[in-house]
A and B are shown apart, each in its own frame.
Chain A
Amino acid sequence: MEKIKLCCAKCGFTIEEYTAEELATVPRKEKRYKYLKAKSSICPSCLASGRLAETRVTVDAATGPAPKAAPASSVAAPIAHEVHAEGDTPMMDAMSTGHFPSHAVELKKTRYPAQMYEQALQQRRTQWGYGGYVSLPGVASGVLVRASARPEITKGSNFVRIMDPCGNFFSTKSMYALCDIADKYAYGLLHLLSTGGDLELLGIPTENLKPAVEEITAIGFDIGSTGDDYRTSEECIGPAKCDLTLYDTLGLREAWYKRFLDDVQYPRFPHKIKCKFSGCPNDCVRGCQKADFFLCGVYRDAPKINQEKVSKWVKDGGDIATVCSRCPGKCLTWKNGDGLKVDNDSCLHCMYCSNKVPGVRPGDDRGVAIMVGGKLRGKFGPMLSKVLVPFMKAEPPDYKEVFDALERFTEVYDANARKKERVGDFILRIGIDEFYRLCGVEPVPQMLAQPRTNFFTHWEPEEVKDERRL
Chain B
Amino acid sequence: MPGIGIPSLASSLPPIVKRNYGRWISHEHPRPGVIKHDSESGEACFTVRAAMPPNARVSTSTMRMLCGLADEFAEGFFRVTQRNSIEFIGVPEGRIEELIARLAKQNFPVGGTNRSLHNTTCCTGYMHCHLAATDPAAIMKAISEMLHKEYTTDCLPAKLKISGSGCINNCGEGSCADIGIVGIHRDLPPVNAEKLKGCELPLVISVCPVGAIKPKGPGMVEIDPKKCIHCPACSVACAAFAPIGSPDGDGVAIVVGGKAANTGDGPAIAKMVIPYLPNNPPYFPEITQAVRNIVDVWVANAQPDERIGEWINRIGWEKFFQKAKLPMSFRLVDGYDARSLEYAKANVRFRW
Binding site for B on A (CB under 8 A): 11, 44-46, 65-66, 68-73, 75-76, 79, 91-92, 94-95, 98-107, 109-110, 112, 116-117, 120-131, 138-139, 141-142, 146-147, 149, 157, 159, 163-176, 179, 182-183, 188-196, 202, 213-214, 217, 220-224, 234, 236-237, 239-243, 245, 248, 250-251, 253-254, 257-258, 261, 265, 281-290, 319, 322, 326, 328, 348, 350-352, 355-356, 358-359, 361, 376-377, 379-384, 418-420, 428
A126 close to B132 (CB less than 8 A): yes
Interfacial chain A residues near B129, Cβ < 8 Å: 126, 128, 146
B9 close to A171 (CB less than 8 A): no
Which residue of the partner chain A has the closest CB to B109?
Answer: A99
A243 close to B26 (CB less than 8 A): yes
A46 to B305, CA, bound (A): 52
The one of A146, A241, A418 in contact with B130, judged by C-beta atoms closer than 8 angstroms, is A146
- Asked if A250 meets B9 with Cβ closer than 8 Å, knowing A45-B243, A69-B285, A126-B131, the reply is yes
A72 close to B56 (CB less than 8 A): no
B220 part of interface (Cβ distance < 8 Å): no
Nearest CB in chain B: distance from A99 CB, A: 5
Nearest CB in chain A: distance from B26 CB, A: 5
13 intermolecular pairs with C-beta atoms under 8 Å apart:
A44-B243, A76-B142, A99-B109, A125-B243, A125-B247, A126-B125, A169-B77, A175-B67, A195-B121, A281-B261, A285-B82, A326-B305, A328-B263
Stretch of B44-52, B92-100, B319-327, B344-352 contacting A (4+ beta carbons < 8 Å): B44-52
B301 part of interface (Cβ distance < 8 Å): no
Interfacial chain A residues near B227, Cβ < 8 Å: none
- Asked if A190 meets B128 with Cβ closer than 8 Å, knowing A72-B288, A149-B243, A383-B269, the reply is no
Interfacial chain A residues near B51, Cβ < 8 Å: 100-101
Binding site for A on B (CB under 8 A): 1-9, 11-14, 17, 21-22, 24-28, 37-38, 45, 47, 51-64, 67-68, 70-71, 76-82, 84, 89, 106-109, 121, 123-132, 135, 137-138, 141-142, 144-146, 148, 168-173, 175-176, 190, 192, 203, 206-207, 209, 233, 235, 237, 239, 242-243, 245-248, 250, 258, 260-269, 279-283, 285-286, 288-289, 292, 303-306, 336-338
Which residue of the partner chain B has the closest CB to A253?
Answer: B6
A241 close to B37 (CB less than 8 A): yes
A222 close to B6 (CB less than 8 A): yes
- Asked if A101 meets B53 with Cβ closer than 8 Å, knowing A124-B247, A138-B1, A288-B260, the reply is yes
Interfacial chain A residues near B190, Cβ < 8 Å: 11, 45
The one of A164, A170, A377 in contact with B170, judged by C-beta atoms closer than 8 angstroms, is A377
The one of A70, A131, A350, A376 in contact with B176, judged by C-beta atoms closer than 8 angstroms, is A376
Interfacial chain A residues near B25, Cβ < 8 Å: 243, 361
16 new A-B pairs (CB below 8 Å) besides A102-B107, A282-B262, A322-B305?
Answer: A11-B190, A68-B280, A94-B283, A106-B57, A164-B6, A164-B80, A182-B60, A183-B60, A237-B79, A239-B24, A241-B24, A241-B89, A250-B9, A254-B8, A261-B3, A352-B264
A192 close to B283 (CB less than 8 A): no
The one of A66, A120, A195 in contact with B123, judged by C-beta atoms closer than 8 angstroms, is A195
A254 to B14, CA, bound (A): 17
Which residue of the partner chain B has the closest CB to A48?
Answer: B194
A120 close to B135 (CB less than 8 A): yes
A217 to B3, CA, bound (A): 9
B2 close to A222 (CB less than 8 A): yes
Nearest CB in chain B: distance from A451 CB, A: 16
Interfacial chain A residues near B285, Cβ < 8 Å: 69-72
Interfacial chain A residues near B21, Cβ < 8 Å: 239-240
A141 to B5, CA, bound (A): 13
Interfacial chain B residues near A104, Cβ < 8 Å: 138, 141
Interfacial chain B residues near A351, Cβ < 8 Å: 261-263
B292 close to A101 (CB less than 8 A): no
- For B79, B192, B262, B303, which residue has the most chain A Cβ atoms within 10 angstroms? B262
Which residue of the partner chain B has the closest CB to A99?
Answer: B148
B67 close to A382 (CB less than 8 A): no
Interfacial chain B residues near A220, Cβ < 8 Å: 4, 7, 11
